[in-house]
Amino acid sequence: MDRIGSILAKAMTPDAVWRGFHPFNKLTGPEAVAERFWGPLRQSLTRMQRRQDIFFAGRNEIDGFASTWVVSMGHLMGLFDRPWLGIPPTGKMAFLRYSEFNRIEDGRIAETAMYFDIPHLMMQAGLNPFPPQTAAHLVQPGPLTHEGLLFDDAPEAEGAATRAAINAMIGDLGTWRSGLSLEEELARTWADDMIWWGPAGIGATYTIERYAKQHSGPFRAAFTDRSKTRHLARLAEGHYGGFFGWPNFTARHKGGFMGMPGSDTPGEMRVIDIYRRDGDKLAENWIFIDLLHFWKTQGVDILERTVRIAGA
């Protein structure tokens, strides 16, 4: 733990803000991040490796391109040897999907969004936190093209093209009132053979037709009163880009999403999206949604309920 704390103290500013999924939420300073997140996780997932699939950097469109962010995505893999968050260990390999945005100031991390798929880890441990999902969830691979690690600067024009594709998609997504059919709307910004790598509880889906049927259509039908999209960072480099919010948006669940009942209380969606562009269309999308937090805003503590039942 002391070594983790000393490493973070060198890499982070003393007042760095760290945003993580429920139950970690917002932490301040490297000591809190070491004690609450990295220390316990490293004790549980022994011999941990960061298996990175995507790495890029860029300036943040949201603040007028003033700040610089570095993005990493992949899996944290280790031997699940000790309980974590009440999830029972398996003694076997386990993969924690993650995506991380870091704002850099004077060579140190001043702000982080670290989103990770805890329900997927629960499923690997034999727990079943959600009703059956509409699509498939797997240990998710990196890009089809196997060139997502941008350790060298990419041409600025490529990043601008990726930002333009992402912004066009956001413009369509934010209205839901284009007058087109859902599949026609999606085809404006997505490749026909797109892959939407969704989180555990929803799943991944392939092609516009199946994405409309297995996620986008059911999602839109289940929500109303959606707020405007709010991002804290949105950037791109080369053929890759992404964004995150805290939350990205709020919406009221009418019922049916993930097989759950509706509510009169608006729920918060904390989301990271990572994209790969092919030509002028989006081809792959990796999504990290804090579903534990969303359902907690709806009065259901999925994590507490699932580990309690497992320990009964």
pTM assigned to the model:
0.95
- The pLDDT, as a whole number, for residue 173 is 77
Do the domain assignments include residue 68? Answer: yes
- Co-location of 164 and 303 in the same domain: yes
* Whether pLDDT at 310 is above 90: no
- Co-location of 207 and 70 in the same domain: no
- The pLDDT, as a whole number, for residue 159 is 98
- Co-location of 107 and 185 in the same domain: no
d(CA 232, CA 311): 38
* Whether pLDDT at 209 is above 80: yes
- Co-location of 202 and 304 in the same domain: yes
pLDDT tens track for 270-304:
999 999 999 999 999 999 999 999 999 999 999 99
Per-residue pLDDT band for 213 (boundaries 50, 70, 90) equals very high
- Co-location of 102 and 167 in the same domain: no
Do the domain assignments include residue 133? Answer: no
- Co-location of 118 and 161 in the same domain: no
* Whether pLDDT at 6 is above 60: yes
Do the domain assignments include residue 59? Answer: yes
- Co-location of 69 and 191 in the same domain: no
- The pLDDT, as a whole number, for residue 308 is 87
- The pLDDT, as a whole number, for residue 178 is 63
- Co-location of 184 and 115 in the same domain: no
- The pLDDT, as a whole number, for residue 174 is 57
- The pLDDT, as a whole number, for residue 131 is 85
Do the domain assignments include residue 278? Answer: yes
Q: Among all chains, which residue has been given the structure tokens 């316990």? A: 40
Q: Where are the beta strands (DSSP E) in 212-259?
A: 223-224, 233-237, 240-244, 249-253
- Co-location of 297 and 162 in the same domain: yes
Structural domain of residue 46, as residue ranges? 2-124
Per-residue pLDDT band for 41 (boundaries 50, 70, 90) equals very high
pLDDT tens track for 143-201:
999 999 999 999 999 999 999 999 999 988 755 566 789 999 999 999 999 999 999 99
- Co-location of 87 and 183 in the same domain: no
Residue 65 has φ and ψ, to the nearest 5°, of 65, 30
- Co-location of 117 and 164 in the same domain: no
> Into how many domains does the chain fold?
2
Contact 24, 40 (CB under 8 A): no
- Of 233, 197, 201, give the one whose Cα is nearest residue 19: 233
Do the domain assignments include residue 186? Answer: yes
- Of 196, 189, 184, 191, give the one whose Cα is nearest residue 168: 189
pLDDT tens track for 79-124:
999 999 999 999 999 999 999 999 999 999 999 999 999 999 999 9
- Computed over every residue of the chain, the mean pLDDT equals 95
Do the domain assignments include residue 147? Answer: no
Do the domain assignments include residue 61? Answer: yes
Higher local confidence (pLDDT), 140 or 208: 208
Do the domain assignments include residue 257? Answer: yes
CATH code of residue 266 = 3.10.450.50
Tell which of 102, 124, 146 closes a domain. 124
- Co-location of 183 and 55 in the same domain: no
